[in-house]
Chains A and B, each alone.
Chain A
Amino acid sequence: MASGYVRSGKLDEAKEFFEQMPERDVVSWSSVISGYVQAGCFLEALDLFHEMLRSGAKPNQFTLVSALSACANLVALDQGRWIHVFIGKNEIKMNERLLASLIDMYAKCAEVEFASKVFSSARGLRGKTAGYVPEVSEVLLDIDDEEDKKTALSRHSEKLAIAFGIMNTPPGATIRIVKNLRVCGDCHQATKFISKVYSREIIVRDRTRFHHFKDGVCSCKDYW
């Protein structure tokens, strides 16, 4: 019932019903917290989240995503960090959505270094399945050192735009990029990787066509 009220946008009724429940499970807690977040009541969402913790109920990934989203919107870095620690201490499994929310929170709170570290942890977590290796052969500039080539690749405009988009949009939002030249092989590979780790659909229009990146796969099927 609480979930039903939330889905209908009747938050007051959901809260009232929720408060009258003799026993509250993680689903009902999560539903109401999520409803508050979706309605833009971020403070209420965090208050309820902490009430949940005090009650002894254990939040799941879904709950934590909502709480992190509230922190991001409130730029509540301290609380966001606290949740991050909570995740670690309670050994909550980090899924893609939770990871994306964590990165988003740090990015919104202007903690880019932490966001980068979290992102890197994603690479470490998925190194065997979603690995990315720079294609230095794509470097067209007069650079001899391999490390310098990698650095040059990381400064390609579409990568910068994508990073900017991820830093400034909510988790799950589609990112649309336009590029004036043909996407290089390295950027194409990197974008596939990012779409998988961040669970983002990334649409890139280059000089000749569109590329729809989703879950590590591109619509062009690597034939461009």
Chain B
Amino acid sequence: MLLRSNSSWSSSSAQPWSSPLPTLVLLRSCRTVPDVSQLHSRLITTGLIRSPFLTSKIILSFSSSPHPPLARYARFLLFSRRTSGGAAGDDPFLWNAVIKSHSHGLDPQHALTVFCLMLESGVFGDKFSFSLALKACSRVGDVKVGKQIHGLLSKIDVGSDLYLANGLIRFYLRCWDLGSARLLFDRMSLMDSVTYNLMIDGYVKCGMIDSARAVFNSTPSEDRNLITWNTILSGHSQSGDQLEIAWELFREMPERDSVSWNTMIDGCVKAGKVHEARELFDTMPDRDVVSWASMIDGYAKVGDISAASSLFDEMPEGDVVACNAMMSGYVLNGLHEEALEIFHCMRSGVPLSPDMATLSIALSAIAQLVRLDEGLAVHHYIQENGFFVGGKLGVALIDMYSKCGSVEKAMLVFDSIKEKAVDHWNAMIGGLAIHGLGELAFDHFLEMERLSMEPDHITFIGVLNACGHSGLVKEGLIVFELMRRIHKLEPMLQHYGCVVDILSRAGYLEEALTFVEAMPIEPNDVVWRTLLSGSRIHENYEIGKAIADYIIQVDSHSSSSYVLLSNVYAGLSLWECVSRTRTEMKEKKIKKLPGCSWIELEGTVCEFFAHDKSHPQVTEACSMLGSMLSPNAEVVSHTY
């Protein structure tokens, strides 16, 4: 019981029962619903529920509490005063506290409800009330209500207030209504640094660097602060081709902070100029985790994993962000084991623990290694630690299970996600596709349509792949037309390639060729090889030969093309052409990529290459296989 367990109670025992002091002392101990119930009972029995001072104190204290029961009680008290006709007064301060608990909380929509209740109660509110309501609108994305508030402000002639004007600009920018924000900006007679910074930032986020620069240039020097410079710097540095301009700005900056340096490092990294990034890194006065992570990421992206790893080891102290950067770099460079090694160190919890990004990267590595058991262990870790799987983590799990061969478990994860995003659907459809479950993938796509879940380009790649793997020609063509005509998505090269695959694989080679010739995008070697492969499978060597000859001309260093060409010639019994093709491969030193297969047994990965005998048991395996393939093998029953 709160009253008995609180150690402060004894110090208040001398106070009269009706004194507010013991209640004030108890406020600090409130955490749970029972605590609130105790407090409420005390307020009622002492009559303090009618004390404006005390109830105001509680409302102000509880409305911003991180404990939901307390925040709810604050709202209850406020509404109780309103409905009981108590002395709620016309002071919006208390109302603002409650509105803020919503606008900055988990349910910003209710902030608008409280805002309306406040107005209905005759409390008009102050500029902070309107500002909080606008924040709620931007968080909810409710442009309509935000515009209504803007209209109300104009009517009461409060729109000229600088604080509110900035709030309105912020609202429009966050709702991606750049035009309205600019209109308001242009009409403002009084502006400050916040105003200019908001506008510059809005343009930067929309990729309108030139407009951002124009606002920056028009910003009075006295209104240019560090944020202004950092904002425009980030715009130019992230534009790729404007890195030089970013450098100029960086040199001109009257002062710099860690954000400035990190912005430049990140810009150089993204532009592939890792050496310039390193020079900045080495010169930077006070490096932070962002600096290290950006540098590690940069080295990894250019393939210099050794440098990335060295830098990672040099870090003065560990950090989850840097660990994630290193893991991601390893995965990017195909070093999945090394990525998992970091994960296992982190998972021990000393000194770091994995976050959601860590887990997603680990699952990605596991998917590539096809380590189902390890994936199961990570999933168990996720469940034990209460990670939310409704977001990217769910996508990673679905993808991992699919790529580890367990489509059933992938579907279980998918079904467990209550509010599925398009990425979840994409991962599931893609997983069904690679398992040859085309009908099921198609059904999932239809379910998306039924639920009005808007598909994206990736969705259609997945569905088309599924149709290709399962011979669903009619369905595939329907999906392709749906993408273009209903969803107004312009097909990319991959989509066209998928359709070619659907037709070729099913033997509709003439149709596939016609489709390729009609493509508005220039077909690449993959598309042509797809068609070539189909012609070989269905022994249409006339088409195959023509395509093969063309491929060799435009893609003369692809071993796949030569191998396919050789097969086409062999099918035509043109042995001289076969020989010539092989000779040409040798002359150009084109080698076929050797086949490699691996199996994991008891945590150990055993790798086998075609015609390679490096594995200690390969001789035994060959012996077994040789015997298996021999048509003259003796029946063992006669051995004894």
Contact = CB atoms under 8 A, between A and B. Distances in A.
B463 to A, nearest CB: 15
A88 B633 CA distance: 18
A20 interface: no
A87 B406 CA distance: 38
Nearest to A153: B629
Interface in A191-224: 194, 203, 205, 208-210, 212, 219-221, 223-224
Nearest to B630: A120
Contact of A169 (B567, B570, B601, B637): B601
Interface in B618-638: 618, 620-630, 633-637
B94 to A, nearest CB: 62
Nearest to B582: A142
B627 A120 contact: yes
B611 A205 contact: no
Contacts of A113: 623, 627
Contacts of A175: 599
A155 B629 CA distance: 11
B502 to A, nearest CB: 12
Interface stretch (A11-19, A29-37, A176-184): A176-184
B534 to A, nearest CB: 12
A117 B634 contact: yes
B610 A157 contact: yes
Interface stretch (A49-57, A59-67, A69-77, A159-167): A159-167
Contacts of A107: 624
Contact of B570 (A137, A153, A158, A167): A137
A44 B286 CA distance: 69
Nearest to B618: A160
A203 B407 CA distance: 12
A57 B543 CA distance: 69
A224 B534 CA distance: 10
B628 A158 contact: no
B596 A157 contact: yes
A161 B598 CA distance: 6
A94 B636 CA distance: 11
Given A117-B634, A120-B630, A205 B599 contact: no
A46 interface: no
Contact of A121 (B370, B593, B636): B636
A140 B562 CA distance: 10
Interface residues of B, number: 54
Contacts of B538: none
Contact of B611 (A118, A152, A190, A194): A152
A177 B597 contact: yes
A118 B623 CA distance: 12
B636 A160 contact: no
B498 to A, nearest CB: 12
B609 interface: yes
Contacts of A220: 436, 469
A118 B637 CA distance: 8
A24 interface: no
A160 B622 contact: yes
A118 B626 CA distance: 13
A85 B606 CA distance: 34
B217 interface: no
Contact of A116 (B435, B594, B623): B623
Most buried by A among B595, B635, B636: B636
Given A142-B582, A161-B599, A169-B601, A88 B637 contact: yes
Contacts of B633: 116-117, 120-121, 123-124
A112 B623 contact: yes
A119 interface: yes
Interface in B349-370: 370
B601 A114 contact: no
Contacts of B630: 120
B108 interface: no
Contacts of A203: 405
Contacts of A159: 625
A121 B567 CA distance: 34
Contacts of A209: 433-436, 469
A157 B427 CA distance: 29
Interface in B399-441: 403, 405, 407, 433-436
A210 B435 contact: yes
A177 to B, nearest CB: 5
A169 B604 CA distance: 13
A156 interface: yes
Contacts of A154: 622, 625-626, 628-629
A160 B627 contact: no
Contacts of B567: 140
A150 interface: yes
B599 A177 contact: yes
Interface in B377-419: 403, 405, 407
Interface of B: 370, 372, 403, 405, 407, 433-436, 469-471, 505, 563, 566-567, 570, 582, 592-601, 606, 608-611, 615, 617-618, 620-630, 633-637, 639-640
Given A121-B637, A163-B628, A164-B599, 13 more contacts: A94-B637, A113-B627, A119-B624, A121-B635, A158-B595, A160-B615, A161-B599, A164-B608, A164-B615, A180-B593, A181-B593, A209-B434, A210-B434
12 contacts: A84-B640, A116-B627, A119-B624, A140-B567, A153-B629, A165-B599, A167-B617, A175-B599, A177-B598, A177-B599, A219-B436, A223-B505
The 5 closest A-B pairs by CB, nearest first: A120-B633, A116-B627, A121-B636, A157-B597, A163-B621
Interface of A: 84-85, 88, 94, 107, 112-121, 123-125, 132, 134, 137, 140, 142, 150-169, 175-181, 190, 194, 203, 205, 208-210, 212, 219-221, 223-224
